[in-house]
């Protein structure tokens, strides 16, 4: 199967003032089209950093990131942003919803950023809201939603434009078991039905069970892999 997302010897050192914190020490990872992958590892080992670099949100100190055949690490910021908008849906570890917009408003904004102001049909949005059991929360603002509902809206926003690649940073991190189940079922459905590629950082063994492959990280390195 074709490779849709690849990192080659990725290294990252954060610099805050004069303090340097090396976080990634050479990560090479290939994700095939249609794969559903979990990344696991202790807190602070660099999972979010890796995901942000894979999604073009953060630049590596060295190494390369290839998205669907294109090297995004050597691109200008605007070109990289464009690729991200076209191909990648990102679920952040913290929700990042716009507080002044309703659930539906947050989704519409994501649609507009993707496709401009043209007319579009509402069916995809309705289906996603239904899958995530959010139909009756459409007109609520983030403040009027529970943590689990906010997380599901953030998820809906990440997948609304059918990105080829979904990168999710602990999407069930703040959810109870019922909400986690809803989210995982949606991921599985998107993966099986639409062939969307998913890379998910998680601490949740339930979540990891739903995947094809589990990547184990420790101290900025890949230390193991379980293929199912
Ligand atoms: N912007 C930043 N500036 C400086 N250091 C940072 C920055 N972001 C993260 N770090 C440090 O990099 C290391 C890895 O952070 P990262 O968020 O990638 O870990 P993680 O594996 O996602 O952890 P968690 O499971 O707790 O979310 C941590 O030691 C963190 O303090
Ligand atoms: Mg993290």
- Please tell me which residue, 86 or 9, carries the higher pLDDT value: 9
Distance 31 CA to ligand 2 centre (A): 20
| Closest ligand relative to 21 C-alpha | 1
Distance 71 CA to ligand 2 centre (A): 24
Among the CATH numbers 3.40.50.970, 3.40.50.300, 3.20.20.70, 3.40.50.10490, which is that of 3-227? Answer: 3.40.50.300
Q: What stretches of the chain show up as alpha helix (H) in DSSP? A: 47-54, 77-87, 103-115, 123-131, 147-159, 177-194, 205-209
Average model confidence (pLDDT) across the chain: 91
Q: What is the pLDDT of residue 119?
A: 54
| Closest ligand relative to 19 C-alpha | 1
- Please tell me which residue, 95 or 139, carries the higher pLDDT value: 139
Take residue 186 and report the two structure tokens written for it.
Answer: 């949606």
Does 15 contact ligand 1 (Cβ within 6 A)?
no
Take residue 55 and report the two structure tokens written for it.
Answer: 């999604």
- Please tell me which residue, 216 or 189, carries the higher pLDDT value: 216
Does 157 contact ligand 1 (Cβ within 6 A)?
no
Does 23 contact ligand 1 (Cβ within 6 A)?
yes
Q: What is the pLDDT of residue 216?
A: 97
Q: What is the dihedral of CA 191, 101, 110, 78, to 10 degrees?
A: -130
Hey, where are the domains in the chain? Answer: 3-227
| Closest ligand relative to 220 C-alpha | 1
| Range 14-32 average pLDDT | 96
Take residue 209 and report the two structure tokens written for it.
Answer: 């069970």
Q: Residue 21 CA: which ligand 1 atom is closest?
A: 5
Does 43 contact ligand 1 (Cβ within 6 A)?
yes
Share of the chain above pLDDT 70, in %: 97
Q: Using an 8 Å Cβ cutoff, are 127 and 159 in contact? A: no
Give the Cα separation of 68 and 208 in Å (integer). 25
Q: What is the pLDDT of residue 173?
A: 83
Q: Using an 8 Å Cβ cutoff, are 55 and 18 in contact? A: no
Q: Using an 8 Å Cβ cutoff, are 175 and 125 in contact? A: no
Share of the chain above pLDDT 90, in %: 66
Give which of 54, 67, 69, 56 is closest to 24, Cα–Cα.
54
* Alpha-carbon dihedral sign for residues 211, 227, 224, 27: negative
Distance 45 CA to ligand 1 centre (A): 7
Q: What is the pLDDT of residue 175?
A: 84
Give the Cα separation of 23 and 119 in Å (integer). 44
| Closest ligand relative to 59 C-alpha | 1
Q: Using an 8 Å Cβ cutoff, are 191 and 111 in contact? A: no
Q: Using an 8 Å Cβ cutoff, are 151 and 95 in contact? A: yes
Q: How far does Cα 197 stand from its chain's mean position?
A: 10
Cβ contacts of 34 within 8 Å, gap of 6 or more: 1, 191, 195, 196, 197
What's the pLDDT band for 209 if we cut at 50, 70, 90? confident
Q: What is the number of other CB atoms lying within 10 angstroms of the CB of residue 187?
A: 23
For residue 167, give the H/E element and its range: strand 165-169
Query: Which segment of 50-54, 114-118, 177-181 scores lowest on mean pLDDT?
Result: 114-118
Distance 128 CA to ligand 1 centre (A): 31
pLDDT tens sequence across 64-118: 999 999 999 889 999 999 999 889 999 887 778 999 999 999 999 998 888 776 5
Q: Residue 45 CA: which ligand 1 atom is closest?
A: 21
Distance 104 CA to ligand 1 centre (A): 31
């Amino acid at each position: 199967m074709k490779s849709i997302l690849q990192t080659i010897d990725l290294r990252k050192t954060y610099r805050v003032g004069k303090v340097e914190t090396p976080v990634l020490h050479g990560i090479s990872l290939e994700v095939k089209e249609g794969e559903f992958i979990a990344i696991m590892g202790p807190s602070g080992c660099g999972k979010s950093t890796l995901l942000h670099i894979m999604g073009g949100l953060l630049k590596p100190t060295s190494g390369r990131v290839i998205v669907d055949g294109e090297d995004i690490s050597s691109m200008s910021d605007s070109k990289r942003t464009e690729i991200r908008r076209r191909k990648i849906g990102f679920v952040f570890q913290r929700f990042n919803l716009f507080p002044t917009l309703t659930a539906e408003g947050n989704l519409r904004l994501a649609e507009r950023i993707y496709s401009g102001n043209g007319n579009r049909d509402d069916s995809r949005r309705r289906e996603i809201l239904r899958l995530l059991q959010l139909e009756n929360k459409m007109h609520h603002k983030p403040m009027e939603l529970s943590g689990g509902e906010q997380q599901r809206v953030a998820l809906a926003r990440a997948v609304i434009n059918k990105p080829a690649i979904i990168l999710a940073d602990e999407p069930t991190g703040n959810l109870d078991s019922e909400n986690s189940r809803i989210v995982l079922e949606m991921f599985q459905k998107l993966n099986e039905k639409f062939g969307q590629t998913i890379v998910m950082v998680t601490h949740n063994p339930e979540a990891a069970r739903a995947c094809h492959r589990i990547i184990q990280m420790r101290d900025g390195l890949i230390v193991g892999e379980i293929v199912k």
